[in-house]
Each structure stands twice: as C-alpha cells, then as structure tokens.
Chain A
C-alpha cells in the first residue's frame, strides 16, 4: 500500500445499473459522504452537542468533451435518464488497485463549457440508493 497518483483514476457508469464501464476523457471526480448532524444541545451543556442523522452521498465528475462512443454522451444521456444508473468511482485503476472503489445508484446532471480551449464537460451526481465502499 502506498499513496498513489490519480492519473489512473476511473469513472464508470451503467445506465442499466448492472455492469458499469469507464467513461473516457474524464480527468477528475469528487465524492462527498456527509452525514447530517442534528443539534441536540440542551440547557446546561457547556458546548453544542450533535447526533448523526442521514448520510448524503453526492459529488462531481469532470473532463473533456469527446464525441467518441463511451465518452461525454454517457453523461448527457444520464442527465436525461428517468431511472438511476450504477456509478463506480475508482481512485486508481492500476493493477492491484481496482478493488478499491465506491459505487452505488446515482442520478447525474451534465454541463459543458465550450471556449477556445478544449471544451470541458462536468456533471454532478446524487445517490439514488445505498452506496458502498469496497473493500
């Protein structure tokens, strides 16, 4: 085990929610697993006191526009989907590291930013079912 590069990160998605495949030409993803905390501070407490509520799973993916099959169109199709797909986020897809990932059902939004530089795409996702971390 070691600290590894994100160069071989992966974002995989399957609209049918069974076997996710890598979306090409992406170069960033971010996920947030925040549990809401309810303020239960009472008279006499010397500091604020919280209890955990429900965990929220959401995040972003980003990269470059690519018209090839298996690239940006997956994001935009997902943005139109009425049912959630299976999203899998891999920090490092190198041999021996693929087993470490987060995955779960998600809805996605998609954005494109086109300037004179390479057009960039991005998307936000939010959980549509339970998410797990492997292993």
Chain B
C-alpha cells in the first residue's frame, strides 16, 4: 500500500506559477484567486485571474493510485477592459502553462497543456453598462505516482 500524497500540491504548483509571474501581475494586478475573487486592496477585484478545478480523475492500479488527471480553468476576468489586455493575459497563460513543467515534490510530472480556449463577455447583473471580459483556457495536468 502506498502512503497518501497531498494532492493539493498540484494546485499549489499551478497557482505558484501564476502568482510569481511579474508579467501576469502587471496585466492582472488584483491577484490570482481560487474559484471566486475577493477584495484587492479593500476594493472589489476588477482585473484578476481565476483558477478552478474542473475535473479530476484518479487512475487506479492494483494496490493504490497510479496516476491523476486534472483539468483546471485558468482565466483572466477584467472589468470594462480593453480586449488587448485580456488577450495579453490569455497569451501569458499559454506561455506559462502550455507544455511547461510543474515542480511537484511527491509526484512524477507528466504533462501540462491547454485543452480548449475560453473567451466571452458577461454583462453585469446589476448594471448592464458594465462588461466583464473573460479569457483563458482549460489546462490539463497529468501526473504519476512514483512506484
């Protein structure tokens, strides 16, 4: 039987890549958030990154877990922004995540790549004049359990 591995290492590593990138910080200064954005500097976040876990599957083998397969949503959300900025954010996600490597202490990294793009505009529920731009993608992360 294998010892339990902390699966949160996967999202920790993904978030670290995004949080530590100065280019992304300049495009999305209100931070990187898990699922839902909070306040940035005492104000509602207006230009930020959202990361969420969309799907996850354990690949079982006899006696334990053999591998894990994740799909993360990674998108920039911007209030009344220029599409140039949301485009730059999406481009930066790809530079940081597509076919790049995550550092994982207890896993064997397999692959990370974009599976599909996201681009849509959302009208604010309270004020139709406000438009939220969403842009990014679904990124797949595959890891193995050391044997």
CB within 8 Å of B: which residues of A? Answer: 6-11, 22, 24-27, 63-64, 66, 68, 70-71, 93, 116-118
Contact = CB atoms under 8 A, between A and B. Distances in A.
A118 B66 CA distance: 10
19 contacts: A7-B60, A8-B63, A10-B63, A22-B62, A24-B61, A24-B62, A24-B147, A25-B61, A27-B62, A27-B66, A63-B61, A64-B59, A64-B66, A66-B144, A66-B147, A93-B62, A93-B63, A116-B140, A118-B144
B147 A26 contact: no
For A11, A24, A25, A93, the residue with the greatest tally of chain B CB atoms inside 10 Å of its CB is A25
Going nearest first, the 9 A-B pairs with the smallest beta carbon separation are A27-B61, A9-B62, A118-B67, A68-B147, A25-B61, A64-B66, A24-B147, A25-B66, A118-B59
A71 B59 CA distance: 16
Contacts of B66: 25, 27, 63-64, 66, 118
A77 to B, nearest CB: 18
Summarize B's interface: helix, strand, loop or mixed: strand
Contacts of A8: 62-63
What is the interface residue range for chain B against chain A? Answer: 10 to 19
Nearest to B60: A27
A86 to B, nearest CB: 18
Given A7-B62, A118-B69, 12 more contacts: A6-B62, A8-B63, A24-B61, A24-B62, A25-B147, A26-B61, A27-B60, A27-B61, A93-B62, A116-B140, A117-B69, A118-B67
Nearest to A9: B62
Contacts of B147: 24-25, 66, 68, 70-71
Nearest to B63: A8
Contacts of B140: 116
